[in-house]
Every structure is written in C-alpha cells, then in structure tokens.
Amino acid sequence: MIYNVNATVYNPPDSPSTSITVGELEFTNGTMICSNTSGIKVTPSSISPGQSATVYFTCSGPAASPGTPVEVVLVTTQGVQVSYTTPVS
C-alpha cells in the first residue's frame, strides 16, 4: 500500500533552525510500516525558531485499514525525534 503522509510541525522559539531528515510511519506498537529518507519535502525547507512547516513524504508498506491508529515519526537534523498519532484515512 502507498502511504502519503502530511504533517505540520512547529519549531519552538528557543530551538535552532532545523530540517527533517527522516520520516517514518509505524503502527502504535512500534512496528515499522515504512520509512523515507530521500523523498521528504518540507515547506519551507528549513524550520526557523518559532515557525511551522509542512512535511510531506510517500512510502509503501503493509496495508492498514482505515481508522487504524498509526504514528508519524519525524527526525530533525539535530537528531530530535517527534511523533504524532493519527488514524489512517
């Protein structure tokens, strides 16, 4: 199944400018569905302190039924990992 992932991220005012280097989609039990390190698009490309950006990536993995909760996991250039749980639509 092809997953199109969109997430809006916020970089707190006291953090350095950053970019997203890894995007993953996981089941809530931590099992990896898919990962992308080369096709990640961030608009704007660098997230300044106190700003938001939209992250887009596509990856393929096992099918998940609509409504199944999954975690979107993003990793920044500083190695900070952030995650958000949302249902598959």
Walk me through the domains of the chain, giving residue ranges and CATH numbers: 2-87 (2.60.40)
User: For residue 29, what pLDDT is reported?
Assistant: 95
User: For residue 72, what pLDDT is reported?
Assistant: 96
Q: What is the pLDDT of residues 10-61, one digit of tens each?
A: 999 999 999 999 999 999 999 999 999 888 898 888 999 999 999 999 999 9
pLDDT at 2 over 90: yes
User: Which residue, 87, 56, 57, 55, is CA-closest to 70?
Assistant: 87
User: For residue 38, what pLDDT is reported?
Assistant: 84
Beta-carbon contacts of residue 87 (< 8 Å; ≥ 6 apart) = 66, 67, 68, 69, 70
Reported in sequence order, the residue ranges of the chain that DSSP labels E, i.e. its strands, are: 2-10, 20-27, 32-36, 41-43, 52-60, 69-76, 81-87
Beta-carbon contacts of residue 79 (< 8 Å; ≥ 6 apart) = none
Tell me the whole-structure pTM to 2 decimals. 0.88
Order of strands, sheet of 2-10, starting from the edge strand that comes earlier in the sequence: 2-10, 52-60, 41-43
